[in-house]
Amino acid sequence: MITVALTKGRLFKDFIKYMEENGLNDYIGALTGETRSLYTVVDDVKFIFAKGPDVPTYVESGVADLGIVGSDIIAENEFNILNVSQLPFGDCHFSVAALPGQEAFGTIATKYTNVAFEHFKNRKMDVSLVHLNGSVELAPLLGLSDAIVDIVQTGGTLRDNGLIEYEKIMDIHARLIANKRTFYTKEDGIYEFLKEIGVV
């Protein structure tokens, strides 16, 4: 049996849509059932559900053999994992956003402080970073920051809060990651799963 770590939320919905488009109905039924369980088993595959930032940790430790995670999480933190391949879903991007007419970005609010630091360092811009865990759009509205660095998919949340994109930083997409040891010791089971979901 192999174990695959998934994250609930936007990326999970994209994965389910991808499986629907490819007729993977056995997996869809098990993954979308009404349950509070934190894992489910389909044939020889156990799926565990975790917070997005925790998926690489489960994979790194060997608790999970594979994981599906956004490249934003891999860009923000360092993990000792195999970054196997890009997946054909989960597309969005990092952006700098602020209120219209903002002329200077001295203070940046973000959940992704490492991504923001590297971006502004490369731009040779000296900024102060404020770490927030959620609802970063509030920061410029309340005067906590001049701008934010955040993930943008459709831009609807920014528009709803009167913010606009000033600069795109990098593209984000779903990534398949693997444990460095079990990727080879469980090669047959992993390959069979990857063939089933159409990523090999």
Q: Which residues, including other chains, have CB under 8 Å from residue 180's CB and lie 6 or more apart?
A: 80, 81, 82
Full-model pTM: 0.89
Distance CA 31, CA 199 (A): 19
Residues 66-112: pLDDT tens digits?
Answer: 999 999 999 999 999 999 999 999 999 999 999 999 999 999 999 99
Both 56 and 117 in a single domain? Answer: no
CATH code, 112: 3.40.190.10
Both 52 and 145 in a single domain? Answer: no
Question: For a pLDDT cut of 90, what percent of the chain falls above it?
Answer: 82
Distance CA 165, CA 151 (A): 11
Range of the domain at 66: 2-90+173-196
Both 158 and 148 in a single domain? Answer: yes
Q: Torsion over CA of 101, 103, 109 and 115, rounded to 10 degrees?
A: 120
Distance CA 55, CA 167 (A): 29
Q: How many domains would you assign to the chain? A: 2
